[in-house]
Amino acid sequence: MRFVNKIELSVDGRTLFAKDFFSTLTAYDVKDDKFTQLAYFIAPSKVTKWEYDYACAPHRLSEIKELGDLKLLSENELLLASWVGFYILDISDMHRYRANAAPSSNILKQIRYIAHPYLEIDKMALSKDGKRVFSSNWSEFGLYDLGENNTAQSSAYYSGAHLNNFKVIEDLNLAYLGKKISEKGEFPSVDLIDFSNKLDPTPIKRYLFPQSLKGVSVESRGKYLFFSYFTKNGAFISGLDRASLSSAEKSAQSAQIQNENLAEKSPEEKGAIWELPYAKNGFRTVDNIIKSPQGYLLLASASDEYRVSLVELSERGAELWRKKLNVVSAANMPVAAMDSYALLDNQILDAKTKNIIYEFPLKFKEVASFGDKFAAIDENNDLCFYEREKLLWKKKLNIAKSKRPFDGTMTRIAKISESEILLIIEKDGFLKFNAKGEELWHKSVNFARTKEDGASDELVIDQKAQLLKAKDGSIFLLAKFGANIAKFDALGNEIWRKQICGRDRGVCDLPDTLNATYKLANYKEGLLLIGANDASEDQTIFLELDLNGNILRENKAKLQDFWLKSAVSTDDGGVLIGGGAHGDDTVIIKIRSDLPLDQQKIKNLNR
């Protein structure tokens, strides 16, 4: 026999049953410490000679120990699990085989055969009582009941990825499935499955391993589980106390799959690049990033199609869920995340099911979230305040149409405090409302464009203008042309204004052109970060500013064909930068808060 991977002893300890990699079962008499072959059984196999030779290679030996299984059901029955099904064999009269002088003709009698209805079985295990079989193939975890007759598969869980292996915790009705990269391109993980409902195994948690190159293997030792995986920086192992998952937690988590990142942080991943899962999953652009209760919501497009996906990430960058949308562009599409739902364009998505549960008759131009409510400016230039689909109040905004075609009639809306006070910026200044829709004050501000002769250096509000509340309560307005930035107090009074970028002014090494893009975000404690780039020059500049507009540090990154599209502050004081490239290169950059900006190595992700 070659590659024996399973053995069983008879009840009396007289007969040893050995199963090899190719599901050939051989029975031996072990009396007086001598091995004498008694009988055998060869289960059918689809393995070719090439597959056999390949499996026999030394580097494959560590991969075959899980294939197939052997279990003594009783003193009269033995179960053999092979690649193609389950065989229950009669071992009630082993004395007859010992009395036969020609062991080569002794074949163990088959009592029942239980076929696997789909793909070849890859790995399997038997329940402790021998009445149930757990199996896996390339993408499915199956459960079989061993009845009196030939029993079909009782249930299955489709994992959507090649399973490395699995471990079953019978007393908790749990199974841990070690997975490789999924069919959707999701990174390797371990799925925790609750199979207490025999007809419907339910995923309740997913442990994420974005750095893994070949998937994850799971092993059980005592009360601990160990997840092992390989990265480009070496091999790692993560441990988990399986007893930490109580029945109450299981019940709560069954309603919606939760994610947890157990992967180790490699030295390279502690730098400026945050290797998020979707960065390896074919996204060619990230059009928008906003803060959500669980982490961040992204509007992203894949490289192999022009449809947009809505993706939510945890604070640590783990992908929580993804929903494909029936739209081809996310440009200027409003998005907001409330406590129990999300708003995308003019549609409400339920937070648990991600299904569209309501569609507003009007389109929204701007939205901002307030707990489980949101404020919006609709296409009629009305300021509205909603609790889900229920309109609480509406105010007409007197917005004059701009004489500059490139400006349109763009307005901006922002959340100023937790007390749900709104701040609206339009062509002539600021309007401040409370949560009841009462106007608190109106402050006119001149936002005229800089003259062609350069004599004026006034702030411009345009399609790409941004409004940001700093941590000290002040308001910052960043306009596109030349990165004009101004600071206002809580009453809308202008404190100062500056032009940050524009090489013709000697301020920053970036041209003051229509191609340049600028984004503003809170950074660290009491600082600002501006990202600026011109895609035609393969250069992106990140500037660290104090609240007086002074440039403290800068970082010039060579990002090829990169378009800067969004920036959002993270809870740790860093900033996520979203954008796109021609290929599947940089889509997200994590600017760290615990490392000086000029020391961070920012590069195209796959380069």
Q: Is a pLDDT exceeding 60 seen at residue 293? A: yes
**Pairing of the two strands 258-261 and 202-208:** parallel
Taking the C-alpha atoms of residue 162 and residue 98, their distance in angstroms, rounded to an integer, is: 44
For residue 343, give Cα distances in angstroms to 190, 372, 434.
31, 11, 21
Confidence grade of residue 521 (pLDDT, cut at 50, 70, 90): very high
Structure tokens at 47: 């393995």
Structure tokens at 456: 């004026």
Res 453: pLDDT: 60
What average pLDDT does this structure show over 540-554?
Answer: 90
Res 270: pLDDT: 33
Structure tokens at 433: 């409302």
The closest of 83, 86, 25 to 52, measured between CA atoms, is 83
| 492 and 446 Cβ atoms separated by less than 8 Å | no
More confidently predicted of 53 and 308: 308
Strand partners, 394: 384
The closest of 113, 112, 167, 116 to 137, measured between CA atoms, is 116
Q: Give me the residue label for tokens 């290797």.
A: 275
pTM listed for this prediction: 0.54
Percent of the chain scoring above 90 in pLDDT = 9
The closest of 300, 298, 297, 307 to 284, measured between CA atoms, is 300
| 203 and 195 Cβ atoms separated by less than 8 Å | no
Taking the C-alpha atoms of residue 177 and residue 162, their distance in angstroms, rounded to an integer, is: 10
Confidence grade of residue 265 (pLDDT, cut at 50, 70, 90): very low
Q: Is a pLDDT exceeding 80 seen at residue 586? A: no
Alpha helices in 487-593 (DSSP H): none
Amino acid at 130: G
- Count of Cβ atoms closer than 10 Å to residue 158 Cβ: 10
Q: Is a pLDDT exceeding 60 seen at residue 318? A: yes
The least confident of 101-115, 130-144, 159-173, 279-293 is: 279-293
Taking the C-alpha atoms of residue 590 and residue 578, their distance in angstroms, rounded to an integer, is: 9
Percent of the chain scoring above 70 in pLDDT = 70
Res 544: pLDDT: 93
Q: Which residues contact 62 (CB under 8 A, 6 or more apart)?
A: none
Q: Which residues contact 398 (CB under 8 A, 6 or more apart)?
A: none
The closest of 264, 293, 261, 257 to 277, measured between CA atoms, is 261
Res 404: pLDDT: 46
For residue 16, give Cα distances in angstroms to 28, 29, 94.
5, 7, 11
What average pLDDT does this structure show over 240-247?
Answer: 62
- Name the CATH superfamily, with its identifier, for domain 1-132: YVTN repeat-like/Quinoprotein amine dehydrogenase (2.130.10.10)
Backbone φ/ψ region at 511: left (φ over 0), alpha (ψ -120 to 50), beta: beta
**Pairing of the two strands 527-534 and 516-523:** antiparallel
Confidence grade of residue 506 (pLDDT, cut at 50, 70, 90): very low
Structure tokens at 168: 């079953």
More confidently predicted of 358 and 415: 358
Three-state secondary-structure class, residue 40: strand
606: Cα within 13 Å, side-chain hemisphere: 17
Strand partners, 200: none
Structure tokens at 110: 């088959």
- Farthest CA pair distance, the chain: 111
Taking the C-alpha atoms of residue 29 and residue 98, their distance in angstroms, rounded to an integer, is: 8
| 7 and 69 Cβ atoms separated by less than 8 Å | no
Alpha helices in 185-260 (DSSP H): 247-253
Strand partners, 85: 115
| 21 and 56 Cβ atoms separated by less than 8 Å | no
Q: What is the pLDDT of residues 222-242, one digit of tens each?
A: 778 888 888 877 888 888 776
Confidence grade of residue 264 (pLDDT, cut at 50, 70, 90): very low
The closest of 494, 434, 432 to 459, measured between CA atoms, is 494
Res 91: pLDDT: 94
Q: Is a pLDDT exceeding 50 seen at residue 247? A: no
Structure tokens at 8: 């069983």
Confidence grade of residue 2 (pLDDT, cut at 50, 70, 90): low
Task: Give the DSSP per-residue string, 365-434.
Answer: EEEEEETTEEEEEETT-EEEEEETTEEEEEEE---PPPSSTTTTT--EEEE--TT--EEEEETTEEEEE-
Domains 1-132 and 333-458 share a fold: yes
Considering the four listed CATH numbers 3.40.640.10, 2.130.10.10, 2.60.120.10, 3.30.70.141, the one that applies to the domain covering 333-458 is 2.130.10.10
Q: Is a pLDDT exceeding 90 seen at residue 324? A: no
Most confident of 198-212, 233-247, 300-314, 413-427: 198-212
What average pLDDT does this structure show over 535-539?
Answer: 67
Which regions of 278-334 does DSSP assign to beta strands (E)?
Answer: 283-291, 295-302, 308-314, 319-324
Q: Give me the residue label for tokens 């070949």.
A: 214
Res 276: pLDDT: 47
Res 257: pLDDT: 47
Average pLDDT over the chain, rounded to whole? 75
Confidence grade of residue 267 (pLDDT, cut at 50, 70, 90): very low
Strand order in the sheet with 475-478: 466-469, 475-478, 484-488, 494-499
Sign of CA dihedral 527, 530, 531, 537: negative
Res 248: pLDDT: 35
Q: Is a pLDDT exceeding 90 seen at residue 90? A: yes
Q: Give me the residue label for tokens 């131009």.
A: 365
Taking the C-alpha atoms of residue 557 and residue 112, their distance in angstroms, rounded to an integer, is: 67
- Count of Cβ atoms closer than 10 Å to residue 20 Cβ: 17
Structure tokens at 70: 């052997």
Taking the C-alpha atoms of residue 473 and residue 475, their distance in angstroms, rounded to an integer, is: 7
Q: What is the pLDDT of residues 179-209, one digit of tens each?
A: 887 655 667 888 888 888 776 777 877 788 8
Q: What is the pLDDT of residues 24-67, one digit of tens each?
A: 899 999 877 788 889 999 887 655 666 666 656 655 555 555 56
| 342 and 326 Cβ atoms separated by less than 8 Å | no
Confidence grade of residue 393 (pLDDT, cut at 50, 70, 90): very high
Confidence grade of residue 607 (pLDDT, cut at 50, 70, 90): very low
Confidence grade of residue 299 (pLDDT, cut at 50, 70, 90): confident
The closest of 293, 301, 295, 305 to 340, measured between CA atoms, is 293
361: Cα within 13 Å, side-chain hemisphere: 3
Domain boundaries, the chain: 1-132, 159-270, 271-320+463-607, 333-458
Res 113: pLDDT: 81
Res 577: pLDDT: 86
Structure tokens at 18: 């050995």
More confidently predicted of 185 and 415: 415
Structure tokens at 455: 């004599």
Structure tokens at 471: 């941590």
What average pLDDT does this structure show over 478-498?
Answer: 80
